[in-house]
Amino acid sequence: MRTGTSVGMVLMICGAAGCGGGSTRVAPGVRLTAGDFGAGSGAPMAAPGAARETREPDPASPTSAPTTPDPVLDLNAPGRTAKDTKAPEVIGPIGASGGITDAVGQPGTPSLGAGDPVPVGESVLVDAKIGDVNGKPIYASTFFDIGTPAQEPLGARLASYARQMSPREWAGKAREEIDQRLNLYIRDELLRAEALSTLSPERKQGLFAFVNQLQQDLRRESGGSREALKRHLEETEGISADEWARKREQTLLVEYEIQQKILRSINISWRDIEQAYNGRFYEQFHHPPRYQLYLVTMPASASEDRAQFEQGVAGGRPFAELAGGTLNRYKNDRGGLETREVAGDLAQTSFFPNADLDAAAKSLKVGETSPPVTMGDMVAWVHLARIDMPMGLYDAQLDIEQTLRVQRQNEALGRYLNRLRGKANVTSIPQMRMRLYEIAVARYAPRIP
């Protein structure tokens, strides 16, 4: 009894402490055998967490299979005994270090196999950083693929030019477009950053709330759901809702900065208008009446051209458009435009050397076209487009005021931008311009056959 009691106590203590080198948990209702504790295996128990080593199965064991892994054994199967269960095999520290401590690194060029890899196609430039404005990177995709709040993407336009122009004409047009868009982008970015840096926290919150309200209004107009708004923006502008909000925010910041720093400081007085009327704009408003006429001529024998021209006039096509077409033989490069000033009596003024054509022109009212006039082997039509009369100060004041205001705004904006550039960190503009042009050539330039 004493011996049995001692053994029972030892088992209870081992059960509580997790004897056997590892705390093996068995599902309720599963019966354990002596084999589960490594009985008869003769192998030492591994430390907890040590890796297991797989050794060749014992040929003498009736349950081992040389070519297949050990099956999962059901300990509760009828007739199952301890000898049917193989003790787990473990690996020691020396075995575990195999392939690690004895590995040797040899510096040199890696082996890529036989032959060089074959490219699947030509390399294509996806995007490129061309510079920075105050630490904000500028990418080529902004100009060619995405666009800016004030500009549409340039890529489609350059591709269209390539189909219509020679390589030399395309190069000139591409440089012009890139230069304009780059300058406008830098201008807007400088103004945006300056406006954002000077806004108070309250005004910033108001700006963000206003942009959010604009987005909500657009969402309601698009159908009321986020998916409808997303679909609407993708179809109409090719951008996401977040991109639309960023563009609106930048536009509002630029407009705010121009309003606060430029427009509010411009003032046009009556004296400024009067001086401009009698000074720099004198010829524009004090000239004699000016008659703007369009003349179309063609051979009288060109019956098909004549029929086509008269059909266009009868169909309501603008005479200036017809005069600039290939049917017209008179100053086609200028669209057949002629301007005549009448300083005295209209009857004493000669518009054209041919008497019949001159009489037809003088008989016209603004917007009228003469009947065909035969001049030897040619036939002609004349159209009176407009008469610019001298204008008094009272009638001219609005035009003068608007012209002066725009001029002074541009001058003030130029001075303000120069100050912003002086304190900004901007990549060299010629360098960015050249990089954009190189990318445009690689993507869109017409190919020389």
pLDDT tens for residues 230-260? 888 888 877 788 888 888 898 999 999 999 9
Q: Is 325 helix (H, G, I), strand (E, B) or coil?
A: coil
How would you class 316 by CB atoms within 10 Å of its CB: exposed for 0-12, middle for 13-18, buried for 19 or more? exposed
Give the mean pLDDT of 150-170: 89
How far apart are alpha carbons 312 and 322 in whole angstroms? 7
In angstroms, rounded to a whole number, what is the distance separating the alpha carbons of residues 315 and 309? 10
Query: pLDDT at residue 315 above 80?
Result: yes
Q: Which of 291, 297, 313, 310 is nearest to 373 (CA)?
A: 297
d(CA 414, CA 187): 10
pLDDT bracket for residue 107 (50, 70, 90): confident
Average of per-residue pLDDT across 435-445: 92
2-6, 8-12, 285-289, 408-412: least confidently modelled range:
8-12
**Confidence at residue 284, expressed as pLDDT on a 0 to 100 scale:** 86
Q: Looking at residues 312-336, what average pLDDT do you find?
A: 86
Average pLDDT over residues 370-381: 90
Which residue is associated with the tokens 């995007």? 127
Which DSSP state fits 87?
Answer: P
d(CA 285, CA 288): 9
Quote the tokens at residue 418. 């120069």
* Whole-number pLDDT of residue 322: 87
CA distances from 392 to 115, 285, 287, 399, 400 (A): 86, 7, 11, 12, 12
Res. 98: pLDDT tops 80: no
- Point out the least confidently predicted range of 103-112, 132-141, 291-300: 103-112
Quote the pTM value: 0.55
Residue 187 has pLDDT above 50, yes or no: yes
pLDDT band at 90 (very low <50, low <70, confident <90, very high): low
Least confident of 32-36, 76-80, 104-108: 32-36
DSSP string across 34-71:
GGGGTTTT-PPPPPTTPPP---PPPTT-TT--SSSPPP
Find the farthest-apart pair of alpha carbons in the chain and give their distance in angstroms, rounded.
Answer: 152
Q: CB-hemisphere CA count at 13 Å for 24?
A: 13
DSSP code string of 137-159: EEEHHIIIII-BTTB--SHHHHH
| 273 pLDDT more than 90 | yes
**Distance (Å, rounded) from C-alpha 324 to C-alpha 333?**
7
pLDDT digits (tens, 9 = 90+) for 122-135: 555 667 898 999 88
pLDDT of amino acid 286: 87
Predicted confidence at residue 404, as pLDDT, reads 95
All structural domains of the chain: 129-266+427-444 (no CATH), 288-388 (3.10.50.40)
Q: Helix, strand or coil for residue 162?
A: helix
Number of neighbours of residue 424 by Cβ within 10 angstroms:
17
Question: With 50 as the cut, is the pLDDT of residue 44 above it?
Answer: no
pLDDT bucket at 218, cuts 50 / 70 / 90: confident
- Residue 59: phi, psi to the nearest 5? -60, -25
In this model, does residue 340 exceed pLDDT 70? yes
Mean pLDDT of the chain: 79
CA distance 401 to 405: 6
Q: What are phi and psi of 148, to 5 degrees?
A: -120, 170
Six-digit token string for 401: 């005021």
DSSP 115: S
Would you say residue 176 has pLDDT above 90?
yes
**Please, which pLDDT band fits residue 120 given cuts at 50, 70 and 90?**
low
Residues 6 or more apart whose CB falls under 8 angstroms from that of 253 comprise: 191, 192, 195, 196, 207
Rounded-to-integer distance, Cα 130 and Cα 128, Å: 6
**How high is the pLDDT of residue 408?**
94
